[in-house]
Amino acid sequence: MKPNNIRLAIGILLLTAGCQRTESIPPTSDISSKPSSSPQTVALAEHLSTSGPTAPPIHEGLLPLYWQTVPDVRPFQVLINGLPDLDQIIKEAALPAILGAIDTKVIVYKQKKDTEFLHGALVWKKISYDLGPVAGYNYQGNDALQVQSMMIFQKQTIKISGAIGASAGYMTMYIDMENDIPQPLLHVESGYPYEQDVDHDGLNEIVNSVGTVPQTTLYRWAEDRAESIDLNHLLNAPSVNITKAGLVEATFQLGDISMIRLYRLTKEGLSGFEKQLVNP
C-alpha cells in the first residue's frame, strides 16, 4: 500500500472508531463464531498486513493454549534445632486451624549472616519447617509481609507474600497443606500474584503481572503439577492485563497507534471478540 493510502486508512479509522469498550462477557455462540468486520476493522487489518514484520498479529478464531510445566520446588526441611542462625523475629502470623491443627503459624525472622532476605518458618502440628527466604531484608513492615490461608487448585493452602522492591513487587509462596507434610505448591519470584477465575470454570487460577507495562502469566494445576502460560508471548503483545470480568486485554503498539483487543479464555483456547480500538 502506498504511504498516502496508509495515512488515509488510518485517518478514516481514527475518525470512526469508538472511544469506549465494554467488558461484558459475550454469549458462547458469539465467541465461537467469526467476528463480523466493520469498516474500521477492515481498514486497520489492511494497514497492518502491509506494515512489515513489526506489525502485531490480528488473531481470528480460536487460539490454542500452550501450557508449560512449572519446575518443582525443593521440599521443606524440618527444623530440628529451632530457627537457624536466628538474629531477630520480625513477625508471627497465627492461622486458623488447618486439618485439625490449631497451632499453625508462620514466623518471619532475620538471620545473622543474611542482609539480603528475611527468612520464614512454618509451624504445623508442633513441627517447624524451613521456608527459606520469604521477603527482602529491608521490607519488615506488617503490610510488606502477608500471610493467609485459602483454597486454591482445590487444595487447602497457605499463601505467603513478602515485598522485595517497588518494581519487583513480592516473592510469593503457596504451600499445599492437604497431606501429612506441608509441600511447596508454587513459588513466584516476583510480581503481584492474585487468584481469579480466568477460564470461567468456577475455579480460580493464579494470575501474576510484572512491570508497568504488564507481563502477565497464568498458573493452573494439572493432575499432579503446576503449569504456566505467558500470555504476552502467546499473543505477541507487549502489554497484557486481566480485567475484573476475567477477560484478557492485550495492547499492541504500532508507531503512535495503540490497538487494544479483548479475549475470552477457556480450557479450549483464547477467542477474540472485541473489535480493535485505536487511539491516537
- The residue from 118, 153, 181 where one domain ends is 181
The reported pLDDT for the residue numbered 33 is 37
Distance of CA 240 to the CA centre of its chain: 10
pLDDT at 50: 42
Q: What is the average pLDDT score of the chain?
A: 81
Same structural domain, 98 and 17 = no
Which of the four pLDDT bands, split at 50, 70 and 90, describes residue 255? confident
Residue with cell 520446588: 73
Q: What is the pLDDT of residue 12?
A: 38
* Domains identified in the chain, total number: 2
Within this chain, do residues 171 and 89 fall inside the same structural domain, yes or no? yes
CA-based nearest residue to 152, from 79, 63, 235, 219: 219
- In this predicted structure, the answer to whether residue 32 has a pLDDT above a threshold of 60 is no
- What pLDDT does residue 256 have? 78
Inside any domain, residue 196 = no
pLDDT of residue 53: 38
Asked, for residue 39, whether it belongs to a domain, the answer is yes
Tens of pLDDT, residues 64-101: 999 999 998 899 999 998 899 999 999 999 998 777 77
Range of the domain at 123: 77-181
Cβ-count burial of 222 within 10 angstroms (0-12 exposed, 13-18 middle, 19+ buried)? exposed
- The last residue of a domain, from among 150, 181, 212: 181
Q: Are residues 82 and 152 in the same domain?
A: yes
Q: How confident is the model at residue 2 (pLDDT cuts 50, 70, 90)?
A: very low
What is the predicted pLDDT for the residue at 24? 46
> Residue for cell digits 483456547?
269
Asked whether residue 88 falls in the same domain as residue 54, the answer is no
Per-residue model confidence (pLDDT) at position 163: 96
Nearest partner of 230 among 244, 211, 245, judged by Cα: 211
Average pLDDT over residues 267-273: 88
Q: How far apart are the C-alpha atoms of 162 and 140, rounded to whole Å?
A: 9
Same domain? For 173 and 91 the reply is yes
Query: What is the CA angle 127-132-134, rounded to 5?
Result: 110
191 located within any domain: no
User: Is there a single domain that holds both residue 175 and residue 82?
Assistant: yes
- What's residue 176's pLDDT? 96
Give mean pLDDT, residues 154-179.
93
Residue 225 domain-assigned? no
Does 51 share its domain with 82? no
Cβ 89 vs Cβ 140: under 8 Å: no
For 178-214, the pLDDT digits (tens) are 988 999 999 999 999 999 999 999 999 999 999 889 9
pLDDT at 180: 85
C-alpha dist (Å) from residue 236 to 70, 100, 149, 257: 21, 47, 35, 16
- Using 50, 70 and 90 to split pLDDT, how confident is the model at 274? low
In a domain, 190, yes or no: no
Mean pLDDT of 154-164: 96
